[in-house]
Amino acid sequence: MLTKEILNKFKNLTILCIGDIMLDRFCYGDVERISPEAPVPIFKILKEKSMLGGTGNVIANLASLNIKTKYAGATGNDDSAVMIEKFLSDAKCKYSLIKPENYNTTTKIRMIASNNHLLRSDKEDFLILNDDQTSQFEKLVEVEIKDSDIVLVSDYKKGLLTNKTTQMIISLCKKHNKKVLVDPKERDFSKYSNADIVKPNLKEFELVSGEKFNTQAPDFKLKIKASALEVMKKYNIKNLLITLSKDGMIFIPQAGDAIQISAEAKEVFDVSGAGDTSLAVLGASIAAGASITDAMKLANLASGIVVGKLGTACVTPDELGQAIDRSNGMHKLSQVSKIISREDAIKKAKELKEKNKIIGFTNGCFDVMHLGHIHSFASTKNECDVLFVGINTDKSVKRLRGDKYPLQDEKTRSYVVASLEFVDYVVLFDEDTALGLVEDLKPDLIAKEGYKIQNWPEAQKVLSYGGRAIELERIEDYSTSAVLKKIDGLNLDTKGEEPLNV
């Protein structure tokens, strides 16, 4: 069974990434009219976002998983290269770059309106290294390979990875006894000869093998294995791992049985960079000592997470951990995936805003759930697309109410709230008020009963940046105090205690 133990080993890894790095730029905006100059839409840019692309996305995913990374490759001497170096530094990635003269760093610019990709504009040159640059590249690669746990080669067919340089990398890996995984782009797999694992997608494999495959056919596994064995024999490749999009992936060794796993059932929002995420997690899992089956499962879970995000995205340890729990059937109820860390909540809120979703927020201790709480959650959800609920930690409640509280621990309170269909995400906070969490999430609206906006700091914060604050109507005769008084009337141990007013 796949366990989270493998994730704990990631922080001890050092992984070297080699390949074509690029800058991904995303321009988000609206199209509301046609240009009077030509029959084309006018795209009004509202915001822009830049990030690492190509091999850089593999690095970003590794860094997101707290894995030490290194990069060996090439950029130009331009503004895009400056941004790439900044992003690499931010990811704490040690990098060694060759910078050929008159070479433009590959930059991809995507125009997105209402979550629809309208246009992609590329600025790129095909990289051609001279003999001196190739020799320099070989030296820096060998230096970085020595103390790496595994080497990931990401070929985007932009010129860095020629037959000569790719074979040089693989030879150096063999010399220093390091596994090398390759994400290919060439139809001629002789370029990847002697690699430990080559990871094409199904379309790429079909071009290499010259055959078409129906993943739903009863004999699919038998046929693709036979074809893969021929390809591996022809090109002297040890193992093939073929990704099958919505149908998962299949691993085929030179000797032994093929291993196929199904994809995670997931709403696909954007497939950008999913292959990079898969390569990163697969390589990290193998380096950490996972079996190939568990490595595939983990890579598959990671890919399923990122396709539900907007643009080129990364996966976090918390997201992977929750996905592992779900895959093991440890948590049959949906509330587990709703309870997220503060860091993940910040990222999730940002992603949802990029999808033009309205973010709602409310908070409390929720020690004794009653109809008033249910009404508050339902009323708030009616005003937003996604509802985040902040819950005071046990320590926070004790500071506010005394050592006798909370009556129920934070885990119980979180599970109860997360079980409600109106609630999308639950986030614990340790401060006395939710003001800090509001500042982090920046919800579009905040709602709560019993609080006047003028005396409500969290509401004032939301209003300060253009959001909405709603004073919810209180349902009479339903409160925590009322519930505790009824319990007290039953002569239970709560007699004489101060009611918890939440």
CATH of the domain at 357: 3.40.50.620
Residues 300 and 360 occupy one common structural domain = no
pLDDT score for 367: 86
For the chain (502 residues), the mean pLDDT of every run of 10, in chain order, is 83 97 92 93 91 94 95 96 96 95 94 85 93 95 96 96 97 97 95 97 96 94 96 96 91 93 60 80 96 93 77 78 72 67 92 86 89 86 92 93 88 91 92 95 92 90 94 67 58 43 42
On whether residue 101 sits in a domain, the answer given is yes
Distance from C-alpha of 51 to C-alpha of 23, rounded to nearest angstrom: 6
Which of 298, 332, 366 is where one domain is finished? 332
On whether residue 369 sits in a domain, the answer given is yes
> Can you read off the two tokens belonging to residue 206?
């079909």
> In terms of C-beta distances under 8 Å and separation of at least 24 residues, what long-range contacts does 36-43 make, across chains too?
41/118, 43/111, 43/113, 43/118, 43/119
Q: What three-state secondary structure class fits 361?
A: strand
Q: Is 1 exposed, middle or buried (0-12, 13-18, 19+ CB in 10 A)?
A: exposed
| Annotated catalytic residue 24 | no
Beta bridge partners of 390: 363, 427
pLDDT score for 299: 92
**Host domain of residue 275:** 5-332
Residues 315 and 347 occupy one common structural domain = no
Catalytic residue among 276, 367, 424, 444: 276
**Report field, pTM of the whole predicted structure over 0.75:** no
On whether residue 295 sits in a domain, the answer given is yes
Distances (CA, A) of 437 to 340, 430, 433, 440: 13, 10, 9, 5
pLDDT score for 322: 78
Residues 349 and 317 occupy one common structural domain = no
On whether residue 179 sits in a domain, the answer given is yes
Which of 308, 332, 356 is where one domain is finished? 332
Residues 327 and 360 occupy one common structural domain = no
H helices of 91-219, in order, are 131-145, 163-175, 202-209
